[in-house]
Amino acid sequence: MKGSTNTNRFRVFQIRWKEKLGYPENPYLIRWTIILFGYSIRLHHWLRSDDCRFFHDHSSNLLSIVLYGHYWNVKPAIINKDPTFGERKFRTEGIFNSWKNILNLRKSVWFSKATEQHYLSIPKTGAWTLLFEGRPYRKWGFWVNEHKWRPLRYFSKYGIIQDENYQ
């Protein structure tokens, strides 16, 4: 019987400190993570946008609270299925402002189901967010021409965006 090579899923408690996503010398995100029984709390320091070439989904539902700065959540939207008008459109769900906007939490808190496709557009000033993530129940990936690609395949084909001017 073959065993799993992913021993992380068997750990009850994990702390990940100052992980750099993207290239280590030029990350788009730095995060601090605490995982307990599969649930996670993450502090994200967004330096720039995540990959906007194609939308991605997540492995679990999540709740994000903007602590500092702001960002836009961009989702796919089919405006009209008539090929004359084009099939692929984008919809910005909203700008999420910092926690200072306590009187209007709709603009500071964002909930997403794991199946929702999106990418985040981060301004040059960056942002800090606190993320609460449920237990993973599916595999996440990028949606390339309506087909889900796992991250390793996606980055092998398209590479990781490393331009510091990329927004």
Domain assignment present for residue 2? The answer is: no
Encoding tokens for residue 126?
Answer: 């960056």
In one-letter notation, the amino acid at residue 66 is V
What is the Cα–Cα distance from 138 to 146, expressed in whole angstroms? 17
Among 48-57, 96-105, 115-124, 125-134, which is the least confidently predicted range?
A: 96-105
Percent with pLDDT over 90 in the chain: 47
Q: Is the pLDDT of residue 146 over 50?
A: yes
Mean pLDDT of the chain: 81
CATH code assigned at 52: 2.60.120.10
Q: Print the domain residue range for 144.
A: 12-158
